[in-house]
Amino acid sequence: MIKQSTGDSGWVVRTSAKENAQLRIICFAHAGGGSAAFAGWSQNLPQNVEVCAVRLPGREARILQQPFADIDKLMPSLTEALIDCCAPPFVLFGHSMGALIAFEYARRLREAGGPMPDHLVVSGRMAPQLIHNRPIIHDLPDAELLECLKELGGTPEDLLTDAHAMRLFMPGLRADFQLNETYAYRPEAPLDIPVTVFGGRSDPYVDAAGLSAWASQTTVPLTLRMFDGGHFFLHSAREEFLGELSRVLCRVTDPAAETVAS
């Protein structure tokens, strides 16, 4: 049985508290996303898996807290906050900006000599060593930033049109994009854990080549899965995506399941 997280710091939302869980998946959302991004996942993942969503400052119930705009400043607080979650076995998952955070968090765990995840699953982001290829938007005026958000998708329309809500939401959103856009990759040895990469076939900025480049970040052969849809394929192709993620998680708890799932 995995060690239970206290969950009282506000950083972790256990969307599926399972006392007899055999595996925990720790999830990091896209820019502007919070624990709601993983709502309902537990019903579509294996019953022995507990879903823990990371809620960064500036999100949801933490909306008034100061967000982090620099990944190096985020990591010490994040590492301390998640110490109770990282009892083996566990898996890290991140989408878009969350993929970058999950990757850097895995490297920090290695540096600290702490327990390592059994698997890293990254989604919707090209490999961290590649040069950022998206327009820089974190410092745009509010009106222009809102237009960019509409084009990107992933932000509910009712939120984008709610001026009061956006005034609260904007600082965390800008911080997220700044964190992602100003990230400076530092070469280190590849991780000695399996890495699975998911991407959308119609994502305008994250193509198969950018996803395949994650291979240099692991000593284990990379697994790449593509889905129909754009950057937020995990919503538009939700059933297929969660099915593939379930197969990854089943192989962590039962390596023999790889033959059955394939």
C-alpha 54: how far from its chain's center? 9
Nearest to 108 by CA among 69, 77, 70, 67: 77
Instruction: Name beta bridge partners: 54.
Output: 12
Dihedral pair phi/psi, residue 199, rounded to 5°: -150, 160
> CA-to-CA distance for 73 and 63, rounded, in angstroms?
18
Q: How far apart are CA 116 and CA 92, in angstroms?
A: 10
| Catalytic residue list contains 96 | yes
Residue of 5, 42, 96, 123 with catalytic role: 96
Nearest to 65 by CA among 171, 182, 141, 166: 171
In contact, 103 and 128? CB cutoff 8 Å:
yes
Picking from 69, 132, 81, 126, the residue whose alpha carbon sits closest to that of residue 108 is: 81
Distance CA 117, CA 109 (A): 9
* Burial classification of residue 84, based on how many CB atoms lie within 10 Å of its CB (0-12 exposed, 13-18 middle, 19 or more buried): middle
Residues labelled catalytic: 96
